[in-house]
Chains A and B, each alone.
Chain A
């Protein structure tokens, strides 16, 4: 499901079934590294959208968790863990993050993190871009399905 009026109406009816939150973590910066972050963020959102399309009956794709790349890490970690526990309190049995920001892999919640490589999309041919999104989405999908099977 997506964060739209229509999907949220379904979510309210079917909360027991839609038990997995997928949260994109999107760093923003201006100046140094802008392009790489923007490209990475673009790819993250394309992949997340494709996974939502294929698993929408169980996965709730949330609007992204956005932050400046140079925000103090400790505060970010705290804010994210607050989001996460709220989502869990609201009934999400599993919460996963999808991001191109490697730093999250070093935090305590690394097992929730699905990392997407930052690829310069702007110089990529359309057909190759589709292929990349398809492949990366398939991998994320397998990861989620695998996690469900473990429960």
Chain B
């Protein structure tokens, strides 16, 4: 309840300032708040924040889904956005962390749920498919591979950063 009250007053405050002459300045001050904050946090050299998602021991060659939360601050209030990643190790031991967001229209893909096409990522919305490494299967709606999370391993834990289109990650 106290939380709610807080929201309302802050919103009122913003309404007043944003509609007033100082609106421009207030907006400028608020913009830097539109960012992601992770918890628990690791910062890499570039200052990017990363969140601990799994123990490296848990990662096998079979993609597994790990759920985590990312704090999102916007101008009104702070909230937590649920996220997940499909994580596995290649035969060479390289870790791959894929975003589950379908590149077609954004549904959440699942691993190995389409009986006719085993060992692929499958999108229940329009039956988009991706290979294990995230490459989109031609002839299905998605036009790009699944994004990959930037990751780091520290003290036996896997930390994930931003999901980036392949080629950039």
Q: Give the interface of A toward B (CB within 8 A).
A: 10, 14, 17-18, 50, 53-58, 141, 145, 148
Of the 9-residue stretches B22-30, B85-93, B100-108, which lies at the interface with chain A? Answer: B100-108
Which residue of B is nearest A122, CB measured? B1
Which residue of B is nearest A133, CB measured? B82
The CA of A147 and the CA of B122, in the complex, are separated in Å by: 17
**Residue contacts A-B, CB under 8 angstroms, 25 given:** A10-B105, A14-B105, A17-B105, A17-B125, A17-B126, A18-B105, A50-B82, A53-B108, A54-B108, A55-B107, A55-B108, A55-B125, A56-B105, A57-B102, A57-B104, A57-B106, A57-B123, A57-B126, A58-B105, A58-B107, A58-B125, A58-B126, A141-B124, A145-B124, A148-B124
Main secondary structure of the interface of A (DSSP, over half): helix
The CA of A10 and the CA of B107, in the complex, are separated in Å by: 14
- The total of chain B residues at the interface (CB under 8 A) is 12
The CA of A57 and the CA of B123, in the complex, are separated in Å by: 10
On chain B, the residues within 8 Å of A14 by CB distance are 105
Main secondary structure of the interface of B (DSSP, over half): loop
Cβ distance A69 to chain B, nearest Cβ, rounded Å: 23
The CA of A50 and the CA of B82, in the complex, are separated in Å by: 9
The CA of A30 and the CA of B125, in the complex, are separated in Å by: 39
On chain A, the residues within 8 Å of B108 by CB distance are 53-55
The CA of A50 and the CA of B108, in the complex, are separated in Å by: 11
Which residues in window 58-74 of B have CB below 8 A to A? none
The CA of A148 and the CA of B125, in the complex, are separated in Å by: 8
The CA of A23 and the CA of B159, in the complex, are separated in Å by: 38
Sample of 4 more A-B contacts, CB < 8 Å, known A56-B106, A58-B125, A58-B126: A17-B125, A55-B125, A57-B102, A58-B107
